[in-house]
Amino acid sequence: MGAIDDKTIVTQYFNSTGFDRWRRIYGDGQVNKVQLDIRKGHQQTVDTVLDWLQADGNLSGLSVCDAGCGVGSLSIPLAQGGARVLGSDISEKMVAEAYERAKNTLIKTDNVSFATQDLEVLSGSFHTVICLDVLIHYPQEKAAEMISHLCSLAESRVILSFAPKTLYLSLLKKVGELFPGPSKTTRAYQHREADIVKILESQGFSINRQASISTSFYFCRLLEGVR
Ligand code: SAH
């Protein structure tokens, strides 16, 4: 164990080099091939969630918490669809960018707000709590507490995405670690689906919808838990 914990490293990363990298990936400007592949994969994750929520037909007025909202890739279209959204992120730079994008994209911004906050200290009550591509920053032993907290904020539903722990990905990761690039400054944690499901079930949720999204460099498992 190093002196600096994962969360401090993640916060610093997303306020510096990580901010620059992910703002570009989650944008529409020129990026390299790998980043473009990740952008497409991530967009599929966002689109899948939007499809699920739109299919339910009650998006207008629905209260949603987008925990670890990044630059607002999900918060903004949700607000566009009429949901009441709180997007929060531990990185103030990501939050500032999300706010800027919301102002530039949305006709009205009164149903979306953004806050710089660690999701583990979020309070309040939301119909739906969504947390996309954040668990990759959480080691397994920290995941239960984090997910349980998100569940405590959710009246009806939690939607989570994570990088699935599979043999293939574990190997890929090992190979990747042999060639660390300049931006790979955070550790990436994969999770076993069975572990995540067990945590959700322990909080009174059962799995309602699920999806797998994968491109060449982006791997994601998406679960919807409902009470
Ligand atoms: N959910 C967004 C962003 C994913 S990138 C999307 O899918 O587009 C991961 C984000 O999680 C980063 O913006 C990072 O700052 C944030 N994050 C990591 N740990 C966090 C924590 N404990 N609380 C809140 N945000 C966190």
CA nearest ligand 1 atom 16, residue: 68
168/174 Cα distance (integer angstroms): 10
Mutate-to-test residue for ligand 1 from 134, 136, 146, highest number of ligand atoms within 8 A of CB: 134
CA nearest ligand 1 atom 17, residue: 68
Q: Is the pLDDT of residue 37 over 80?
A: yes
211 vs 29, 48, 159, 196, CA distance in Å? Answer: 28, 8, 11, 14
- Whole-number Å distance, alpha carbon 68 to ligand 1 midpoint, is 3
Let me know if 156 is exposed, middle or buried by CB neighbors in 10 A (0-12, 13-18, 19+). middle
- Mapped onto helix, strand or coil, the DSSP state of residue 27 is coil
3-state helix, strand, coil in the chain (%, to 5): 45, 20, 30
Nearest atom in ligand 1 to the alpha carbon of residue 42 is: 7
pLDDT tens string 199-211: 999 999 999 999 9
CA nearest ligand 1 atom 13, residue: 70
Q: What is the mean pLDDT of residues 24-45?
A: 98
Sequence-distant (≥ 6) Cβ neighbours of residue 215 within 8 angstroms? 37, 38, 40, 41, 44
The pLDDT assigned to 169 comes to 66
Nearest atom in ligand 1 to the alpha carbon of residue 11 is: 15
pLDDT tens string 73-84: 999 999 999 999
Q: What is the mean pLDDT of residues 60-64?
A: 97
Q: Sheet harboring 219-226: ordered strands across?
A: 112-116, 84-89, 63-67, 126-131, 154-162, 219-226, 206-214
Best CA proximity match to 208, nearest among 53, 43, 42: 53
- Whole-number Å distance, alpha carbon 227 to ligand 1 midpoint, is 24
- Is 65 a pocket residue for ligand 1 (Cβ < 6 Å)? no
Q: What are phi and psi of 131, to 5 degrees?
A: -145, 100
Sequence-distant (≥ 6) Cβ neighbours of residue 170 within 8 angstroms? 190
Global pTM reads: 0.94
Q: Is the pLDDT of residue 123 over 70?
A: yes
- Mapped onto helix, strand or coil, the DSSP state of residue 8 is helix
Show the tokens assigned to 144.
């239960």
203/147 Cα distance (integer angstroms): 9
Share of the chain above pLDDT 70, in %: 92
Amino acid identity of 54?
Answer: Q
Average pLDDT over the chain reads 93
Q: Is the pLDDT of residue 89 over 70?
A: yes
The pLDDT assigned to 56 comes to 97
Q: What is the mean pLDDT of residues 3-11?
A: 87
